[in-house]
Structure 1
Amino acid sequence: MLQRPRRRCEGKAMGAIVLDLRPGFGIGPFSLGMPICDAFAQIEQQPNIYDVVHVKYYDEEPLKLDIVISFPDHGFHLRFDPWSQRLRLIEIFDVKRLQMRYATSLIGGPSTLATFVAVYDLFGPTFPGIYDKGRGIYTLFYPGLSFAFPVPSQYTECCHEREAELPLEFPDGTTPVTCRVSIYDSSTDSKVGVGSLMDKACAPPLAAGSLYMEEVHVKLGEELWFTVGGQHIPFGASPQDVWTELGRPCGIHQKQVDQMVIHSASDPRPRTTLCVDYFYNYFTRGFDILFDGQTHKIKKFVLHTNYPGHADFSSYMKCNFVIYGSDFGGSFHQDDNTTKRTITPSTKWEQVKEILGDCGRAAIQTQGSTSNPFGSTFVYGYQNVAFEVMKNGYIATVTLFQS
Structure 2
Amino acid sequence: MFSTLDVDIRPGSGLGRFEIGSSLWTVLDILRNLPHTFPQVDVKYDPDVSSVTPIIVHLRPHLDLLFSGKHQRLHTICLRKLRDPNPPVIVRYKDTILSSADETLRRVSVSRTFGPTYPGDDLRYPGLWFSFEEDGIGEGLKGAQTEDRRQEVKRVLISQKGSDVQDQDALDEVAECSTMTGDIRQAIVKVHDGVTLHFYPSSSKPVHMRLGETTAQDLTLDLGPPLRVHYKDDERMTIHSTSNAFQEETVTDYFYNYFQHGLDFLISGSTHVVKKIVLHSNVAGSPLFQQYKRCNWEIEGNPEDDEDDSPPRKRFYDKFETISHFLSPREPPPSMLLDRTDEEEDITLPSATTRRKEFLESRTTLSPLINHSVHGYDGIILEVSESSQVVSVILF
| TM-score normalised by structure 2 residue count | 0.79
Report the Cα distance in structure 1 between the residues aligned to 2:259 and 2:304, rounded to whole angstroms: 26
SS in 2 for 1:78: strand
Are residues 63 and 200 of structure 1, via their aligned partners in 2, closer, same or farther at CA, if it must alter by over 3 Å?
closer
SS in 1 for 2:71: coil
Who is 1:241 aligned against?
218
**1:4-403 aligned within 5 A:** 13-14=1-2, 16-73=4-61, 75-97=62-84, 98-108=89-99, 110-129=101-120, 138-150=121-133, 159=145, 168-169=147-148, 175-186=150-161, 188=162, 190-193=163-166, 196=167, 199=170, 203-207=174-178, 210-227=181-198, 228-237=204-213, 238-267=215-244, 269=246, 276-325=252-301, 328=302, 335=309, 338-339=311-312, 342-357=313-328, 358-367=332-341, 368-374=343-349, 375-401=370-396
Compare relative contact order (CA 8 Å, sep 6+) and give the higher one, 1 or 2: 2
Are residues 148 and 310 of structure 1, via their aligned partners in 2, closer, same or farther at CA, if it must alter by over 3 Å?
same
**Identity of matched residues, %:** 27
CA RMSD across the alignment: 3.2
SS in 2 for 1:347: coil
Are residues 366 and 200 of structure 1, via their aligned partners in 2, closer, same or farther at CA, if it must alter by over 3 Å?
closer
SS in 2 for 1:260: helix
- CA deviation after TM superposition for structure 1 residue 52, in Å: 1.5
Report the Cα distance in structure 1 between the residues aligned to 2:384 and 2:177, rounded to whole angstroms: 29
Letter of the aligned partner of 1:231 in structure 2?
V
Report the Cα distance in structure 1 between the residues aligned to 2:171 and 2:154, rounded to whole angstroms: 19
- Is contact 2:50-2:285 (8 Å) kept? no
- Return the index of the structure with the highest Cα Rg: 1
- Is contact 1:218-1:330 (8 Å) kept? no
Report the Cα distance in structure 2 between the residues aligned to 1:118 and 1:80, rounded to whole angstroms: 30
SS in 1 for 2:25: helix
Residues 33-90 of structure 1: CA distance to partner in whole angstroms, max 9, x if unpaired?
11112212321232210122111111120355421111013x1111111111111100
- CA deviation after TM superposition for structure 1 residue 91, in Å: 0.8
| TM-score normalised by structure 1 residue count | 0.78
- Is contact 1:386-1:399 (8 Å) kept? yes
Are residues 198 and 258 of structure 1, via their aligned partners in 2, closer, same or farther at CA, if it must alter by over 3 Å?
same
Who is 1:8 aligned against?
none
Report the Cα distance in structure 2 between the residues aligned to 1:124 and 1:200, rounded to whole angstroms: 31
Who is 2:356 aligned against?
none
Report the Cα distance in structure 1 between the residues aligned to 2:265 and 2:22, rounded to whole angstroms: 25
- Is contact 1:256-1:274 (8 Å) kept? no
- CA deviation after TM superposition for structure 1 residue 157, in Å: 6.3
Report the Cα distance in structure 2 between the residues aligned to 1:61 and 1:319, rounded to whole angstroms: 18
- Is contact 2:53-2:70 (8 Å) kept? no
Report the Cα distance in structure 1 between the residues aligned to 2:2 and 2:304, rounded to whole angstroms: 57
- Is contact 1:378-1:390 (8 Å) kept? yes
- Is contact 1:236-1:299 (8 Å) kept? yes
- CA deviation after TM superposition for structure 1 residue 201, in Å: 7.2
Report the Cα distance in structure 1 between the residues aligned to 2:375 and 2:180, rounded to whole angstroms: 35
Consecutive unaligned residues in structure 2, runs of 5 or more: 199-203, 350-369
SS in 1 for 2:278: strand
SS in 2 for 1:181: strand
Report the Cα distance in structure 2 between the residues aligned to 1:333 and 1:296, rounded to whole angstroms: 37
Are residues 150 and 256 of structure 1, via their aligned partners in 2, closer, same or farther at CA, if it must alter by over 3 Å?
same
SS in 2 for 1:60: helix
Report the Cα distance in structure 1 between the residues aligned to 2:76 and 2:306, rounded to whole angstroms: 35
Letter of the aligned partner of 2:164 in structure 1?
K
Report the Cα distance in structure 1 between the residues aligned to 2:250 and 2:2, rounded to whole angstroms: 49
Report the Cα distance in structure 2 between the residues aligned to 1:259 and 1:191, rounded to whole angstroms: 53
In the alignment of these two chains, the number of paired residues is: 357
